[in-house]
A and B are shown apart, each in its own frame.
Chain A
Amino acid sequence: MNVVLTKTETQRPASDVFAGVRDRLPGRGKAAEAREQAFAAFERAGLPHRRLEDWKYTDLRALMRDVLPLAAAPDKNALERAEAALASLPAVDAVRVVLVDGAFAPTLSNLGGMETGVRVQTLREALEDGNHADLLSNGSEPGAMIALNAAMATDGLVITVADRVAIAKPLHIAHVATRGSTASFTRSFLTIGKAAQATLLESFVAAEGTKSYQVNDVISVSVGDDAEVQHVRLMDDGADATNITTAVFSVGAKARLTTFNMTSGGILSRYQGHLTFSGEGAEVNANGVNLLNGRQHADTTLFLDHAVPHCMSREVFRSVVDDRAQSVFQGRIIVRPHAQKTDAKMMTRALLLSDEAEADNKPELEIFADDVTCGHGATTGALDESLLFYLRARGLPEKEAEALLIQAFVGEAIEAIASDGLRELTVTIARAWLERRG
Chain B
Amino acid sequence: MSLLEIKDLQVRVDDREILHGLSLTVNEGEIHAIMGPNGSGKSTLSHVIAGKPGYEVTGGEILFRGEDLLEMDPDERAAKGVFLAFQYPVEIPGVVTMNFLRTAYNAQRKARGESELMAPEFLKKVREVAKRLGIPQDMLKRGVNVGFSGGEKKRNEILQMALFEPSLCILDEMDSGLDIDALRIAADGVNALRSPGRAMVVITHYQRLLNYIIPDVVHVMSKGRVVKSGGKELALELEASGYAQFDEAALTAA
Min CB distance, B14 to chain A, in Å?
15
> Quick one: which of A387, A397, A412 contacts B107, CB cutoff 8 A?
A397
Q: How far is the CA of A1 from the CA of B86 in the complex (A)?
A: 43
- B89, B95, B111, B160: most-surrounded residue (chain A CB, <10 A): B95
Contacts A387-B90, A408-B95; A396 near B107 (Cβ below 8 A): yes
Contact mask for chain A residues 375-403; partner B; CB cutoff 8 A; 1 contact, 0 none: 00000000011110111111111101100
CB-contacts of B88-114 with A (<8 A): 89-90, 92-95, 100, 103-105, 107-108, 111
Q: How far is the CA of A427 from the CA of B160 in the complex (A)?
A: 27
A389–B95 contact, CB under 8 A?
A: no
Q: Which chain A positions have C-beta within 8 A of B160?
A: 394
Q: Which chain A positions have C-beta within 8 A of B92?
A: 387, 390-391, 405, 408
Contacts A389-B52, A389-B53, A405-B95; A395 near B86 (Cβ below 8 A): no
The segment from B60-68, B72-80, B241-249 found at the interface with A is B72-80
Min CB distance, A435 to chain B, in Å?
14
The yes or no answer to A21 lying at the interface (CB within 8 A) is no
Q: Which chain A positions have C-beta within 8 A of B79?
A: 395
- Which residue in chain A gives the minimum CB-CB distance to B104? A394
The yes or no answer to B84 lying at the interface (CB within 8 A) is yes
- Which residue in chain B gives the minimum CB-CB distance to A394? B104
The yes or no answer to A409 lying at the interface (CB within 8 A) is yes
Q: Which chain A positions have C-beta within 8 A of B201?
A: none
Q: How far is the CA of A67 from the CA of B16 in the complex (A)?
A: 60
Q: How large is the interface on A (under 10, 10 to 19, 20 to 34, 35 or more residues)?
A: 20 to 34
> Quick one: which of B73, B90, B93 contacts A390, CB cutoff 8 A?
B90
Q: Which chain B positions have C-beta within 8 A of A138?
A: none
Q: Which chain B positions have C-beta within 8 A of A394?
A: 75, 78, 100, 104, 107-108, 160, 164
Min CB distance, B212 to chain A, in Å?
24
The yes or no answer to A330 lying at the interface (CB within 8 A) is no
B103–A404 contact, CB under 8 A?
A: yes
B78–A393 contact, CB under 8 A?
A: yes
The yes or no answer to B151 lying at the interface (CB within 8 A) is no
Q: Which chain A positions have C-beta within 8 A of B100?
A: 391, 394, 404
> Quick one: which of B75, B86, B93, B94 contacts A392, CB cutoff 8 A?
B75
Q: Which chain A positions have C-beta within 8 A of B18?
A: none
A395–B52 contact, CB under 8 A?
A: no
The majority secondary structure among interface residues of chain A is helix
Contacts A386-B90, A397-B107, A400-B103; A392 near B95 (Cβ below 8 A): no
Q: How large is the interface on B (under 10, 10 to 19, 20 to 34, 35 or more residues)?
A: 20 to 34
The yes or no answer to B50 lying at the interface (CB within 8 A) is yes
A390–B86 contact, CB under 8 A?
A: yes
Min CB distance, B79 to chain A, in Å?
5
Contacts A404-B103, A405-B95; A395 near B90 (Cβ below 8 A): no
A396–B52 contact, CB under 8 A?
A: no
The yes or no answer to A69 lying at the interface (CB within 8 A) is no
Q: Which chain A positions have C-beta within 8 A of B41?
A: none
Q: Which chain A positions have C-beta within 8 A of B189?
A: none
B51–A398 contact, CB under 8 A?
A: no
Q: Which chain B positions have C-beta within 8 A of A393?
A: 50-52, 74-75, 77-78, 84, 86
Q: Which chain A positions have C-beta within 8 A of B78?
A: 392-395
The yes or no answer to A407 lying at the interface (CB within 8 A) is yes
B73–A396 contact, CB under 8 A?
A: no
- B52, B86, B104, B164: most-surrounded residue (chain A CB, <10 A): B104
Contact mask for chain B residues 29-54; partner A; CB cutoff 8 A; 1 contact, 0 none: 00000000000000000000011110
Q: Which chain B positions have C-beta within 8 A of A405?
A: 92, 95
The yes or no answer to A117 lying at the interface (CB within 8 A) is no
A396–B94 contact, CB under 8 A?
A: no
A409–B111 contact, CB under 8 A?
A: no
Q: Which chain B positions have C-beta within 8 A of A143?
A: none
Min CB distance, A428 to chain B, in Å?
15
Q: How far is the CA of A408 from the CA of B97 in the complex (A)?
A: 12
Min CB distance, A382 to chain B, in Å?
13
B74–A392 contact, CB under 8 A?
A: yes
- Which residue in chain A gives the minimum CB-CB distance to B94? A408
Q: Which chain B positions have C-beta within 8 A of A408?
A: 92-95, 143
Q: Which chain B positions have C-beta within 8 A of A400?
A: 103, 107
- Which residue in chain B gives the minimum CB-CB distance to A403? B103
Q: Which chain B positions have C-beta within 8 A of A389?
A: 52-53, 74
Q: How far is the CA of A386 from the CA of B111 in the complex (A)?
A: 22
Known pairs A389-B52, A390-B86, A398-B73; list 9 more (Cβ under 8 Å): A387-B92, A393-B86, A394-B108, A395-B79, A405-B92, A408-B92, A408-B143, A411-B94, A412-B94
Could you show 8 A-B contacts with beta carbons less than 8 Å apart? Answer: A389-B53, A389-B74, A391-B92, A393-B74, A393-B84, A394-B78, A405-B92, A408-B94
